[in-house]
Amino acid sequence: MTGTTAEPLLRASGVRKRFGGLVAVDGVDLHVDRGEIVGLIGPNGSGKSTMLGCVSRDLPLDGGSIEFEGRSLDRLRASRAARRGIGRTFQNVRVFPELTVRENALLARDWTTVPALGLLRGPEAATRERVAELLETTEMTRLARTPAGNLSGGQKRLLELVMALVARPRLVLLDEAASGVNPTLVQKLRQYVLTMREQERVAFLVVEHNVDFIFGLADRIVVMETGTVLAEGTPAEIRENQEVVDAYLGA
C-alpha cells in the first residue's frame, strides 16, 4: 500500500547536517506519502539516524528544509513537531524503567507539555482507552502493571512503539526497532506496524539494519551512503541494484 495524494505527507529537500567538520547528511531529498512505509537503510555512519533526528527536529538543520502536511518544520523544536503529528522511537530505547508499562504509555500522550505526576494522577478517559487499545493490539495487556525495567529488550521495543502511537500521529519514525529483538517478536513487530498502517493509515519511516525485516515491511526503500542518497526504489528494485549490493547488501 502506498500513498496516492499528489502532496506527500513528509517532504525533506536538500537536508544538510554537520557535526563540526563532519558532514553527516549532505543534501538529502526524501519523501513519505500518507500511509506509506519507507525503509531507510545503509552502512553504519551513512547518516540514517541523523536524518531521522532532522525530521523529528531533535537536530537543527544546517541546510535544506522539511515540510510535514505542507507546513514547514524548519523552525520547530521536537516537542512542537510531535504535536504536529510525528511520533518516534530511538536507537537506544527510552522508557522510564521504574514506571509500569501502562504508566509509560500514559506519559507518552503529552509528556512534552504536561507535568509527569499530573498526567499520571489524572489521565483523561480517552487517553486511558487509547493506551488499553494499543496494549491489546501489541499483546502487552498482561504486562500493563510490570515495571518497564523488568521487560526484555524486545518488549521494551514494543512498549516504545506503543508510546509513539498513543497520540495518534500521522507519521512514526522507527530507529532500529528490530535491533536486539528475537525472531518471533520481530515478526510480531512487523505485523503490528502493518496493522496500524491499515487501521489508522499511519505512515512509517524506518531506519533498520535487519534486512529481512525491512524488505518484508517497506513499500519503498531509500539507501544512504556517506550522507547522500545512493538509490531509491521498491524492495525488489533495491535487491537488484548493483551499487547497493556492492555498498551494503553484499553478494
Radius of gyration of the chain (CA): 18
Sheet with strand 171-175: strands edge to edge: 86-88, 171-175, 203-207, 37-41, 220-225, 228-233
114 or 138, which is more confident = 138
DSSP state of 249: I
30 has pLDDT over 90: yes
Cα angle: 36, vertex 139, 203; to 5 degrees: 10
Q: Average of pLDDT values for 43-60?
A: 94
Cβ pair 231, 41 in contact under 8 A? no
pLDDT tens for residues 144-195? 999 999 999 999 999 999 999 999 999 999 998 888 788 998 999 999 999 9
234 has pLDDT over 90: yes
pLDDT value, residue 33: 97
Could you identify the residue written with the cell 512514526?
172
112 has pLDDT over 50: no
- List, in order of start, the domains of the chain with CATH numbers: 10-249 (3.40.50.300)
d(CA 126, CA 170) in angstroms, rounded, equals 18
Report percent pLDDT > 90 for the chain: 75
